[in-house]
Amino acid sequence: AQTVTQSQPEMSVQEAETVTLSCTYDTSENNYYLFWYKQPPSRQMILVIRQEAYKQQNATENRFSVNFQKAAKSFSLKISDSQLGDTAMYFCASPDVQGAQKLVFGQGTRLTINP
């Protein structure tokens, strides 16, 4: 089974800066996926980016990229050129076990982008 840990309850940066959110996990699975979800004040959970453990290359989606360190079991999210609309709760998540329908979430990081 997975465990997911986010050690930064809150972060705050200025607009246009780069920010990195940390996530560590622990698993006994051979293959697994990792996700970052964003939850703005509108409340909808939005998938930001996902990474398959078998893939060496770090996933990238526009301004969002991950630093996936499989040996260290680390999955950090980097937001470049941050925008006011990036203000949200960010959750790191992974399926509980391979093939599972249950996501295990970290405790979340509240990110504030200041003008």
Partner 1 sequence: DTEVTQTPKHLVMGMTNKKSLKCEQHMGHRAMYWYKQKAKKPPELMFVYSYEKLSINESVPSRFSPECPNSSLLNLHLHALQPEDSALYLCASSQGGGWLGNSPLHFGNGTRLTVT
The piece of 19-27, 59-67, 74-82, 99-107 that touches partner 1 (CB under 8 A) is 99-107
Task: Assign 86 to helix, strand or coil.
Answer: helix
Per CB under 8 A, does 106 bind partner 1? yes
Q: Toward partner 1, which CB reaches closer, 16 or 47?
A: 47
DSSP-assigned states of every residue in 8-26: -SEEEEETT--EEE--EEE
Using CB atoms within 10 A of its CB, is residue 29 exposed (0-12), middle (13-18) or buried (19+)? Answer: middle
Instruction: Return residues touching partner 1 (CB under 8 A).
Output: 31-33, 35, 42-47, 50, 52, 89, 91, 93, 95, 98-103, 105-108, 110
